[in-house]
């Protein structure tokens, strides 16, 4: 269940009318690892396996291609509220030692990160020789917008979509949280063993540094946002070799980093 009907009062200058509006569902999910609480995320239900897998991948806890043991411990109103992941101790990544002990709300990708050193990411910068026309980029956004069914009903969800170098849609997921939507798409491609095909990450809102890091870890060289990018996102993108594009709408866009890596000026 990703959206649900609520009654409201729609007010205009001339009158007021009771309406039934679809609202995007926001519900907590407690994630246990080996029967021990790890973190709590606020998310839109559905695709919980993909959400958890993408999160554990980004947190350097579990990066294998093989599926893990996922079980629902508790459900409320037919929505999972507690899940448990069984991972052998010798398969747990270093990230497990830095448990996210604070509540991770839907708008915060760094909750639980207590020190500046916790947000450092190391690795070689990404390289790509992609050649993409601006018209192709806007076509990809049109594809994503067309498939945002939860947003069409509720107007309250974010979306993330991953495309191949041939502009083929590989995964699209929606969630009340921007970071959750990205985790779901990455988790989906991990499950399908298609993450190596990922080249373009499109997001429906703004981009902060957390999303840049998620793309870097997943080796996705291009991030495209319909809204703004933060200064730290641009700094990280420059450092990591990621082409970061913002304000992509109405045949316009702003490229903030690695502008020479893609041919985005042509629209034919």
Identify the pLDDT of residue 177. Answer: 93
Residue 252 known to bind ligand = yes
87-145 residue pLDDT tens: 999 999 888 776 655 455 566 665 555 455 555 666 788 877 777 777 788 899 999 99
Q: Of residues 15 and 139, which shows the higher confidence score? A: 139
Q: Point out the residues that are catalytic.
A: 108
In tens, the pLDDT along 18-51 reads 878 788 887 888 999 999 988 888 888 889 999 9
Q: Is 250 a known ligand-binding residue? A: yes
In the predicted structure, residue 215 carries a pLDDT above the cut 90: yes
Sequence-distant contacts of 221-229: CB under 8 A, at least 24 apart:
221/126, 221/127, 221/128, 221/130, 221/261, 222/128, 222/130, 222/132, 222/261, 222/262, 224/137, 224/140, 224/141, 224/200, 224/248, 224/253, 226/141, 229/256
Domains of the chain: 27-119 (no CATH), 134-261 (3.40.140.10)
Residue 249 annotated as binding site: yes
Q: Is 248 annotated as a binding residue?
A: yes
Specify the pLDDT at position 238. 87
Q: Give the single-character DSSP code of 196.
A: G
Instruction: Give the pLDDT score at 263.
Output: 65
């Amino acid at each position: 269940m990703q959206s649900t009907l609520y009654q409201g009062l729609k007010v205009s200058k001339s009158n007021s009318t009771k309406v039934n509006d679809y609202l995007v569902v926001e519900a907590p999910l407690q994630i246990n690892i080996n029967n021990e609480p790890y973190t709590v995320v606020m998310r839109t239900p559905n695709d919980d396996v993909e959400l958890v897998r993408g999160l554990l991948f980004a947190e350097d806890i579990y990066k294998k291609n093989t599926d893990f043991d996922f079980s629902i411990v508790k459900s409320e109103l037919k929505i999972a509220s507690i899940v448990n992941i069984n991972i052998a101790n010798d398969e747990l990544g270093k990230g497990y030692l830095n448990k996210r002990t604070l509540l991770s709300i839907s708008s915060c990708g760094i909750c639980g990160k207590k020190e500046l050193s916790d947000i450092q990411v190391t690795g070689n910068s990404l390289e790509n020789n992609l050649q993409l026309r601006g018209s192709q980029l806007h076509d990809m956004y049109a594809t994503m917008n067309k498939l945002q069914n939860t947003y069409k009903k509720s107007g309250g969800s974010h979306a993330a979509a991953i495309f191949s170098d041939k502009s083929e849609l590989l995964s699209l997921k929606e969630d009340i949280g921007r970071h959750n939507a990205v985790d779901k798409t990455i988790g989906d491609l991990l499950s399908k063993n298609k993450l190596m095909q990922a080249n373009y990450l499109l997001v429906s809102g703004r981009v902060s540094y957390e999303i840049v890091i998620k793309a870097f870890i997943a080796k996705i060289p291009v991030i495209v946002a319909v809204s703004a990018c933060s200064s730290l996102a641009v700094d990280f993108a420059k450092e990591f070799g990621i082409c970061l594009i913002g304000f992509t709408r109405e045949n316009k866009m702003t490229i903030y980093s690695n502008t020479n890596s893609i041919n985005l000026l042509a629209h034919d």
